[in-house]
Amino acid sequence: MTDATVSILACDLCGTTSARTLYGDLHDTALKGDGVFAMVQCAHCGLVRLDPRPDAASLADHYPHEYVPYQKSNRLIRMLKRRQWARTEAILRRSAGGVGSVFEIGCARGEFLEFLKSRGWRTAGLEMDPVSAEAARAEGADVRADTFESAEFASNERFDCVVLSYVLEHLPSPLAALTKIHGMLREGGIAVISVPNYESWDRRAFGRFWHGFDVPRHLHIFSEMTLRAYAAKTGFSTEHMRYGTVPNDWIGGMSRIARERGKVRLAGFLTYKNPLLAAVCFPLSLAASALGASSRFTFFLRKRSVISGV
């Protein structure tokens, strides 16, 4: 596979064309895809973006069914997920004033939707990978296979909550996505957005090997400041935010270094499927979360009635 790429001339958040290169000569070390990429940072607002990036026609080739989010998790990772899901659901229930309707964008196999359904929520979702969408439907989930950019919603189709769990960084225009989500929500509805955190300890530790870059699938990388700016610009107020506890990202950084240096056997050991390694990295992830420096964070955004900045 040989990628066609496109250069992004302006920042999606502020429109500024000036940017500085943070990390060049980046490769897809996770799935061994073709192409050479760079992460650049807007000189005005600080948003980090992939530039160049695969064009629209070739981007889908970087999401084979073997892509990790489409796979079942091991027991430890499932336990950690359920722990975080329970925290998310409790905040969501409090913010929404009780259970209601939830739509998840990029729901993969529908595990979070299944969890929410067991807690009394009315659930539906969207997944671009048809195999994963079918797996979700086989478990009884209401999931359609489509990309968010092309998905259409009826004018009277409104939800109490829209969830994007590590999806916004994959979308070509977060500004367009959040504007569309604003229209999907009822008045006062809640958007739950989880993304990698550029200001995390592990990004500082691993640099160009940081798991959160995941080139070329991650097109934008957010800080708390830039995500708050997106929220304000697209008609949302920040209701709540929290930092995640994710040992996977420390493991992912080590694994990428091993693969880059040709240590294939070591990279095979350094995997999120290794429960011992996940357990070892968990205390470090817990400390980073407590100090606001973990690799991922979640924003709970409340819809305002007016979009002022688009």
Q: What is the maximal distance between C-alpha atoms in the chain?
A: 54
pLDDT value for 125: 98
Q: Answer whether residue 68 shows pLDDT above 60.
A: no
pLDDT value for 134: 94
* 63: nearest Cα among 73, 71, 52: 71
pLDDT value for 77: 67
| Count of beta carbons in the 10 Å neighbourhood of residue 18 | 10
Q: Which two tokens stand for residue 19?
A: 């940017």
Q: Using a pLDDT cut of 90, give the percent of the chain over it.
A: 68
Q: Answer whether residue 232 shows pLDDT above 80.
A: yes
pLDDT value for 73: 62
Q: Answer whether residue 310 shows pLDDT above 60.
A: no
Q: Answer whether residue 202 shows pLDDT above 60.
A: yes
Confidence of residue 242 (pLDDT cuts 50, 70, 90): very high
CB 161 within 8 A of CB 101: yes
* 247: nearest Cα among 279, 293, 210, 208: 279
Contacts of 168 (CB under 8 A, 6+ apart): 174, 177, 178, 193, 195, 220, 222
pLDDT value for 34: 79
Q: Which two tokens stand for residue 33?
A: 């895809």
pLDDT value for 273: 74
pLDDT value for 9: 81
CB 245 within 8 A of CB 265: no
Q: Which of 69-83, 106-120, 233-247, 251-265 has the lowest mean pLDDT?
A: 69-83
pTM for the model: 0.90
Higher pLDDT, 6 or 138: 138
Q: Answer whether residue 1 shows pLDDT above 60.
A: no
Q: What is the dihedral of CA 75, 80, 81, 87, to 10 degrees?
A: 150
Q: Answer whether residue 154 shows pLDDT above 80.
A: yes
Measure CA 285 to chain center: 18
* Cα distance between residue 50 and residue 213, in whole Å: 9
Higher pLDDT, 2 or 64: 64
Domain 65-201+222-303 class in CATH: alpha beta
Q: How high does pLDDT run on average in the chain?
A: 90
Write out pLDDT tens, residues 248-277: 889 989 998 998 888 988 888 888 778 888
CB hemisphere CA count around 42 (13 angstroms): 22
Count of residues for the chain? 310
Q: Answer whether residue 94 shows pLDDT above 70.
A: yes
pLDDT value for 64: 64
Q: Answer whether residue 162 shows pLDDT above 60.
A: yes
Write out pLDDT tens, residues 167-188: 999 999 999 999 999 999 999 9
Domain residue limits, the chain: 65-201+222-303
pLDDT value for 65: 61
pLDDT value for 174: 98
How far separated are the first and last CA of the chain, in Å rounded? 37
Q: Which of 13-22, 191-200, 224-233, 241-250 has the lowest mean pLDDT?
A: 241-250
pLDDT value for 54: 87
* Cα distance between residue 136 and residue 184, in whole Å: 22
